[in-house]
């Protein structure tokens, strides 16, 4: 299946000059959705155990939960500021079109747990790096960061290193 067929470009969103890669057509097609979840879970190297899968708000929640189920791992939502009900660690970061803050529950990861970070797109790498730092703060070990797509021209991989994999690249 060609995942590119299910990604549409939305020009000037969320601001002029940005071409947003919209995954809602992929999410709306049951065969593409299942294929994508299976393919993302399949990016974990053989023999690597994952204890927790992090889904980054909001699109990372959808496939992150599906990946966790396939890997028989727990699921952790990393949310925007003020959305989690218990004690949190916070990390602010820059986006290609602004700034944001993410939070994780302080008890979400036990020291030494193996973690997969998932989101829909790797752009500048600011979001993934912020989550990576939160995992390390909790004592977890990031085994991989996986994405549906990677925007190579924004060099996001440079911020998070060699543990990055994606299904498609632009």
Question: Which position among 57, 70, 87, 96 bears the catalytic label?
Answer: 96
- Our answer to whether residue 157 is catalytic in this structure is no
The alpha helices in 42-79, defined as continuous H runs, are 59-71
Pairing assessment for the beta strands 74-80 and 52-56 based on DSSP bridges: parallel
Domains by residue range for the chain, with CATH: 47-169 (3.40.50.2020)
Q: Measured between alpha carbons, how far is 49 from 94 in angstroms, rounded to an integer?
A: 31
- Rounded to whole angstroms, the Cα distance separating 33 from 167 reads 13
Residue of 8, 31, 57, 59 marked catalytic: 59
pLDDT of residue 131 exceeding 80, the answer is: yes
Q: Is the pLDDT of residue 146 over 70?
A: yes
Percent of the chain with pLDDT over 70: 98
Rounded average pLDDT over 28-53: 98
How many other CB atoms are found less than 10 A from the CB of residue 94? 14
Q: What is the pLDDT of residues 70-116, one digit of tens each?
A: 999 999 999 999 999 999 999 998 766 668 999 999 999 999 999 99
CB 166 within 8 A of CB 147: yes
pLDDT at 15: 87
* Averaged pLDDT of the chain: 95
- Cβ(139)–Cβ(109) under 8 Å? yes
Tokens 């071409």 belong to residue: 19
pLDDT at 14: 86
Question: Which pLDDT score is estimated for 66?
Answer: 98
**Cα separation of the two ends of the chain:** 17
For residue 92, the cross-strand partners are 101
Q: What is residue 147's predicted lDDT score, i.e. its pLDDT?
A: 98
For 41, 43, 170, the CA distances from 114, given in Å and listed in that order, are 15, 15, 29
Is residue 59 among the annotated active site residues?
A: yes
Query: Tokens 């399949």 identify what position?
Result: 42
């Amino acid at each position: 299946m060609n995942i590119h067929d299910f990604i549409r470009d939305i020009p000037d969103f969320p601001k002029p000059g940005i071409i947003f890669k919209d995954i809602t057509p992929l999410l709306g097609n049951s065969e593409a959705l299942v294929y994508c979840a299976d393919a993302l879970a399949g990016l974990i190297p053989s023999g690597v155990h994952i204890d927790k899968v992090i889904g980054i708000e909001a699109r990372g929640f959808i496939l992150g939960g599906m990946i966790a189920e396939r890997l028989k791992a727990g699921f952790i939502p990393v949310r925007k500021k003020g959305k989690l009900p218990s004690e949190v660690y916070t990390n602010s970061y820059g986006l290609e079109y602004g700034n944001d803050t993410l939070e994780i529950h302080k008890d979400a990861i036990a020291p030494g747990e193996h973690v997969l970070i998932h989101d829909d797109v790797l752009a500048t790498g600011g979001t993934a790096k912020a989550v990576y730092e939160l995992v390390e703060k909790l004592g977890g070990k990031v085994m991989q960061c996986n994405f549906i797509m990677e925007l190579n021209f924004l060099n996001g991989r440079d911020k998070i290193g060699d543990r990055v994999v994606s299904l498609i690249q632009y």
